[in-house]
Amino acid sequence: MRGDPEAYRKRYESRVDEQIRKAMEAGQFDDLPGAGKPLTLPSLHDENWWIRSKLRAEGVSTDALLPPSLRLRKEIEGLDDAVRDLRDEDAVRQVVVELDRRVVDHLRAPSGPAVPIRRPSADTVVERWREVRAASRPAPRPASTPPPGPHRPWWRRLRRG
């Protein structure tokens, strides 16, 4: 065996490595959250892995990374889902008008890749919104039979009068 491992450690171990080794020997790294679980490492081919992980940690959608033209197109495609839970037609129209305003602004001064974008029609979106609401409403209950009259014992029903 060549030399003493303790002498080797004293000669080449940095101050940080020494502190980590002493903490491990003292058991300070035992029972840490995530101990024994695999690490979530980034994909080898994703150069923006740290941006995506930061956005995920902050609860922001990765759609924020898209160019404006693609973001608008994606919003138009998801418009029916965005207005599904709105209560009244005016709120639906307001959402569509706001999106249409942003589309017009983008068409006046386009940026990003040239993606064909159609302006959303408030009437079409409202019509589809009405159809979804009508389909989700429960069917009307059939008219029930009128409640029976006051209960009369059977022997009284035999008597006339």
pLDDT tens readout for residues 52-97: 888 888 998 888 788 999 999 999 999 999 999 999 999 999 999 9
Average pLDDT value for the chain: 84
User: Does 81 fall in a domain?
Assistant: yes
End-to-end CA separation in angstroms for the chain: 121
Predicted local distance difference test score (pLDDT) of residue 122:
92
Residue 156 lies inside a defined structural domain of this protein: no
Residue whose C-alpha is closest to residue 82's, from 98, 67, 70: 98
Q: Output the pLDDT for position 160.
A: 62
How many domains does one find in the chain?
Answer: 2
Give yes or no: residues 25 and 70 share one domain. Answer: no
Same domain, 13 and 72: no
What does the pLDDT average to over 115-133?
Answer: 92
> Looking at the domain assignment, is residue 114 inside a domain?
yes
Alpha-carbon gap, residue 66 to 68, rounded angstroms: 6
**85 shares a domain with 26:** no
25 and 78 in a common domain = no
Asked whether residue 73 falls in the same domain as residue 24, the answer is no
59 in any annotated domain = no
Residue 127 belongs to a domain: yes
Q: Considering the domain boundaries, does residue 7 fall inside one?
A: yes
Does 144 reside within a domain?
no
| Domain that residue 19 falls in | 1-33
- Are 72 and 124 in the same domain? yes
Q: Are residues 131 and 70 in the same domain?
A: yes
Decide: pTM greater than 0.75: no
Average pLDDT over residues 129-133: 90
Instruction: Give residue 142's pLDDT.
Output: 67
DSSP structure class, residue 161 = -
Asked whether residue 126 is assigned to any structural domain, the reply reads: yes
* SS3 assignment, position 104: helix
